Amino acid sequence: MWPDNETDRDFLNFTGVADTVAEIIVQADGRPISIGVSGAWGVGKSSMIKLIRRSLEQRTPEEGSEFIFVEFNAWLYQGYDDARASLLEQIATRLAKEAEERKKGVEKAKDLLKRVDWLRAAKLTASSGLALALGLPPGGLVAEAVSLGRAALSGRATEEDVDRMEETAGKIGTTASKLIKPRRALSPPKEIHALRQSFEDALKEMEVQLVVLIDDLDRCLPPTTISTLEAIRLFLFLDNTAFVIAADDTMIKHAVREHFAGLGDEKLVISYFDKLIQIPIRVPPLGTQEVRAYMMLLFVENSGLRKEEKEEIRRKVCAQLQQTWRGRRVDRAFMQTTHPNLPADLIARLDSAERLAPLMTSASQIAGNPRLIKRFLNALFIRMAVARAHSVAVDETVLAKLMLFERCGPQDAYAQLTKAVIESDEGKPRFLADWEDKAQTRREIQLDKPWNDAFIHEWLTVPPRLADLDLRGAMYVSREHAPLITPEDRLSSEGAELLTAILDNPDMAAELHERLVRLPRAETVIIMDRVLERARQEQEWGTPPILDAALAVSVADPSQGTRLAAFLRDRPHGQITASVVPKISDQSWTAGVYDEWRRGDVATSVKRAITQQEKQSRVS
C-alpha cells in the first residue's frame, strides 16, 4: 500500500520546475512576489510545494536573504476557525518565535502579533472592526443586554432577569476594558495600515524573507477560499515576502464568481485572480514516460530493497527522465540497470507497470493523474490480498487489466464480460479472442455497442490476452463492483443437494463421487468455494472431516486439486500435525505441499512424517 501524502522526494520529475520557482523567488531579491502553482486535483501540487521549499532551504545565505517558511492549509481550518484570522495569526506567531530566537526585531514582531490579536478580537463584535472603533463590546453581550432591557421596559422582567442584567453589565465593562485601550484611537483602516507596517519592519530588522506556502485552497468552500485570499491580500506587495499558492485556478475562479454573485462580469473574476497571482505556473501533465516511471518507482518503494538502494534508483530514474526529450526511456530494461540484483517479484511488477502505463496515461478517467494511479495500485494490492486470503489463484497482471476495464470502460460492456465469465464452464471469455488477435496485430476491429469505445480498442492491445484464461478467480475477488450471483442461485438442484450433503456430513463425501463427477465444472468450483470457506474455521490440520470433503471434490474435479494444495500451503504452520501427511499422500499435488511444509517452521514430527511417507512411496 502507498499512503496518499505529499512528499519532498521527487517521483514525478518535478524538481526542475520546483528549482525554477525557487530561483524566481531568489532573483526577486526581497521584492514582493506571488506565484500560483495550478493544476487539477491529484496532479502533485502539494508535492510541488514541498519540493519548492526544499529547493529554497538548500540555497546558501550568500544567494539572497535567509528564508523562513510558513505552511498553511486552509482546508484544515474550514468549519473550525476563520481562515483569514488563522493565517494572520500563524504568520505573526512564526515571526515572533523567529525574532526571539534571532534576538532581532523582537518588538516589531510582538507589535505585529498584538495587532493580529486586535483584528481577531474584532470578529467578536457586532460590526467587526467598526464596533471596536466605536467602543462597543462583543456582539453576543450587546444582544443579551438589549434583550433584557426590552423586557424591563415592557414590564415583563422577572427578578431573575434583573440579576442577569447586573451580571451582563459587569461582563460588558470587563470585556470592553480588555479589548479597548482608551489611550489609543483605533479604527480598522489605521490598524490594517499599522499591521502591514509592523510586518514589513519586523522582516527588515530580522533580515529575512518570509515565504508563505498555501496548499489545498481548491478543496475549500468558496467563503473559506475568499477569506484566505483576503488575508493574503493584506500582506501582498510588501518587501521581503513571497507567497506560493497551490490550487486549481478553475476552482479559485469559481469561488470568486460565487463571492461576486449577481455582478455577471467575468472580467472581474479574471481581474481579481490576476491581481493576486503575479506568476502563474502549471504543474506539468504526465506523459507515458513519466507515468511508467512513477508506477515503477512506487513498486520500488514497496519492495524489500534497502532505503539507500531505493533512493539511488530514484535519483537515476529522475536523471533519465530529464533526458527523455533525447529519446531516452524509462522502462523495465533501464530499471534493471539501476541496481545489480533486483528481486524477481519486483521485476514482474515493473513489467506490469510497463504494460499498464500507456492506458493509465490515455484513459480519460485516470489521465496520468498520480493520485488516481496510486489509488488504483492500492485497490489492486487489496484485491490481491483478498485473493490470497481466500486461496484464489489470481495473476496480478490479469487482475490489473480487468480492474482497468472496470474503472474506465463502459459499464454495460463490463457487465457483459462478467456475465460471459460466470456462464462459461471454464470461466473463459472466448468472445474476446478475435478482437484480441486483431488488436495486437493493429488490424481494424468493428465493435458494436456497448463495446465501440476508444478505451476498449486500446485495452485489447494490453497483454495478457484474456480470451483463453479462466477469469473466475479474478471476478470473485472483484465482486464488490461486479457482484456475483450467490452460489446457491447458480447451482442446479442436483448441485445444491450435493453441497448440502457434503457440508452436513463431510466425512461421507467420498461416497458421493459418482454424482460429483457428473456435475459441470462451474458447479464443482462453487462447491469447493463453500468447502474451503468452512475449512478456514479449522484451527488444527490433522484429519478434520472437512478435509475429506475437500479431497472428494478434488478427486471428482482434478482442477480443484491445485486450489486445495494452495489452501493447505497457506495454513499457519503451527496448525499442521503429522496425521495430515499420509492423508494427502496419494494426491498428484502433494509434493508441492510437502516442500512448503519442509521449508517452513512446521513441527519436527510433521517433517519426519513427510520423510517417512516419501520413503514408503519410493519403495512402493
Residue 487 is predicted with a pLDDT of 47
Confidence check: pLDDT of 309 > 90: yes
State whether residue 369 is helix, strand or coil: coil
- Residue 69's φ and ψ, nearest 5 degrees, are -120, 145
pLDDT in tens, 206-238: 888 899 998 888 778 888 888 788 778 777 778
The torsion region of residue 329 among left (phi > 0), alpha (psi -120 to 50) and beta comes to: beta
Angle at which helices 493-504 and 545-556 cross, to 10°: 150
Q: How confident is the model at residue 578 (pLDDT cuts 50, 70, 90)?
A: very high
Q: How confident is the model at residue 143 (pLDDT cuts 50, 70, 90)?
A: very low
Q: Looking at residues 429-439, what average pLDDT do you find? A: 91
- Residue 136's φ and ψ, nearest 5 degrees, are -85, 150
Confidence check: pLDDT of 140 > 60: no
pLDDT in tens, 96-125: 998 888 888 888 888 888 887 776 666 543
Helix (H) or strand (E) holding 38: strand 33-38
Q: How confident is the model at residue 135 (pLDDT cuts 50, 70, 90)?
A: very low
CA distance 324 to 288: 11
Contact assessment for residue 565 and residue 538, using Cβ atoms and an 8 Å cutoff:
no
Which range among 265-269, 486-490, 537-541, 543-547 has the greatest average pLDDT? 543-547
Q: Domain boundaries in the chain? A: 15-122+194-282, 288-477, 488-619
CA distance 8 to 69: 15
Tallying the residues shown for the chain, one arrives at 620
Contact assessment for residue 422 and residue 563, using Cβ atoms and an 8 Å cutoff:
no
Q: Looking at residues 380-409, what average pLDDT do you find? A: 85
Q: Grid coordinates representing 340?
A: 545489480
CA distance 29 to 240: 8
pLDDT in tens, 147-168: 544 444 444 545 565 455 555 5
Angle at which helices 188-206 and 83-102 cross, to 10°: 30
Q: How confident is the model at residue 419 (pLDDT cuts 50, 70, 90)?
A: confident
Beta bridge partners of 67: 209
Q: How confident is the model at residue 583 (pLDDT cuts 50, 70, 90)?
A: very high
Contact assessment for residue 224 and residue 77, using Cβ atoms and an 8 Å cutoff:
yes
Contact assessment for residue 52 and residue 21, using Cβ atoms and an 8 Å cutoff:
yes
Residue 481 is predicted with a pLDDT of 46
pLDDT in tens, 46-74: 888 889 999 888 876 555 568 889 988 87
| Lowest-pLDDT choice from 480-489, 557-566, 603-612 | 480-489
Residue 176 is predicted with a pLDDT of 44
Residue 505 gets which letter from DSSP? Answer: -
Q: Domain 15-122+194-282, CATH 3.40.50.300 — does that match?
A: yes
Q: Looking at residues 394-410, what average pLDDT do you find? A: 87
Residue 491 is predicted with a pLDDT of 77
State whether residue 45 is helix, strand or coil: helix
Residue 134 is predicted with a pLDDT of 34
Residue 593 is predicted with a pLDDT of 92
Non-local CB neighbours of 292 within 8 Å, separated by 6+ positions: 330, 331, 353, 354, 357
Contact assessment for residue 320 and residue 11, using Cβ atoms and an 8 Å cutoff:
no
CA atoms within 13 A on the CB side of 154: 10
Q: How confident is the model at residue 175 (pLDDT cuts 50, 70, 90)?
A: very low
Contact assessment for residue 169 and residue 142, using Cβ atoms and an 8 Å cutoff:
no
Q: Grid coordinates representing 549?
A: 470433503
Residue 248 is predicted with a pLDDT of 82
Q: How confident is the model at residue 263 (pLDDT cuts 50, 70, 90)?
A: low
> Which 3-state string (H, E, C) describes 406-422?
HHHCCHHHHHHHHHHHH
Cis peptide before 429 (omega within 30 of 0): no
Confidence check: pLDDT of 558 > 70: yes
Non-local CB neighbours of 115 within 8 Å, separated by 6+ positions: 92, 191, 194, 195, 198
CA distance 15 to 263: 41
Q: How confident is the model at residue 296 (pLDDT cuts 50, 70, 90)?
A: very high
CA distances from 414 to 268, 377, 452 (A): 46, 20, 13
What percent of the chain clears pLDDT 90, i.e. is strictly above it?
16
Q: Grid coordinates representing 341?
A: 540484483
Residue (of 187, 202, 181, 180) closest to 112 by Cα position: 202
> Which value, to the nearest 10 degrees, does the dihedral of the CA atoms of residues 110, 111, 112, 113 take?
50
CA distance 453 to 455: 5
CA distance 201 to 112: 9
CA distance 512 to 502: 8
Residue (of 355, 447, 457, 339) closest to 397 by Cα position: 355
Q: Where are the alpha helices (DSSP H) in 410-536?
A: 411-423, 433-440, 454-459, 472-477, 487-490, 493-504, 513-517, 521-535
Residue 132 is predicted with a pLDDT of 37
pLDDT in tens, 8-59: 677 877 888 888 889 899 888 888 888 988 887 778 888 888 899 998 888 7
Q: Looking at residues 162-181, what average pLDDT do you find? A: 49
CA distance 474 to 396: 9
Instruction: Render 10-29 in DSSP notation, one character per residue.
Output: -SSS-HHHHHHHHHHHHHHT
CA distance 549 to 219: 56
Helix (H) or strand (E) holding 591: helix 590-599
Residue (of 72, 65, 94, 5) closest to 244 by Cα position: 72
* Identity of the amino acid at 131: A
Residue 166 is predicted with a pLDDT of 52
Question: How many C-beta neighbours within 10 Å does residue 33 have?
Answer: 19
CA distance 177 to 388: 69
Contact assessment for residue 563 and residue 532, using Cβ atoms and an 8 Å cutoff:
yes
Q: How confident is the model at residue 492 (pLDDT cuts 50, 70, 90)?
A: confident
CA distance 46 to 219: 12
Question: How many C-beta neighbours within 10 Å does residue 167 have?
Answer: 12
